[in-house]
Amino acid sequence: MLGGDVVALWEVALSDGVYRIEFAHGTTTGKRVVYVNGKEVVRKDWMFKLVGRETFTVGEAETKAAINIEAVGGFAYEYSLDVDGKSLQKFIDNRAKTTETWLLRADGSDYRVVLEKDTMDVWCNGQKMDTTGEFVDDGTETFFTVGEHECCIKTTSGGKKKSGIIHHLLLDGEKIPASSTT
């Protein structure tokens, strides 16, 4: 915790990384401070109105975010986070449909690879990767390197309407299981 007034904490997974958002709310001083990964991004002192909304951006793509502050009776407050215009839960649910994430270890280092299904952009540990794509008989293959390793994301049809399109990450030809977290 960064300060004694931190009242809410969220973790938001974006393509370029997982961001920790902390909100400090001094209900006696009117102070509002937003931290992203420990860095102060919003500070307001002596706010006479204790409820409202603080807006800021997160990540490389400057994704819009807002913390909503609502009174829930007496001197109690409720805090919620909106990301990209959606509640955090709706944002997470939507990302589960539009991205695929793999966590892998190679050469003693941990890597987080994210595929944005709509654009086919590939991110690794916060960096957008240079990729080469090609069409193959059963779909597409997108190639990139992680360290000294050849990676390929194979995109194929699941064959059934419900399974849709399937994405597999291969590291040096070995299949890496998808992560359950984004």
Banded pLDDT at 1 (limits 50, 70, 90): very low
Residue 179 has pLDDT above 90, yes or no: no
What was the pLDDT predicted at 130? Answer: 96
Pair 10, 78 in one domain:
yes
Averaged pLDDT for residues 122-147: 94
Radius of gyration of the chain (CA): 20
Domain end position, chosen among 84, 116, 143: 84
d(CA 94, CA 89): 9
> Quick one: 58 and 27 in the same domain?
yes
pLDDT at 3: 54
For tokens 């390197």, name the residue.
145
Domain span at residue 108?
99-176
Query: Which has the minimum average pLDDT: 10-24, 41-55, 150-164?
Result: 150-164
Quick one: residue 94, left, alpha or beta (phi over 0 = left, psi -120 to 50 = alpha)? alpha
Whether residues 20 and 79 share a domain: the answer is yes
Domain CATH number, residue 36 = 2.40.128.180
Phi-psi category of 126—alpha, beta or left, where left has phi over 0 and alpha has psi -120 to 50?
A: left
Task: Look up the pTM and report it.
Answer: 0.84
Q: Could you tell me if residue 180 is left (phi over 0), alpha (psi between -120 and 50 degrees) or otherwise beta?
A: alpha
Tally the domains of the chain: 2
- Among 28, 58, 84, the domain boundary falls at 84
> Average pLDDT in the 87-115 region?
94
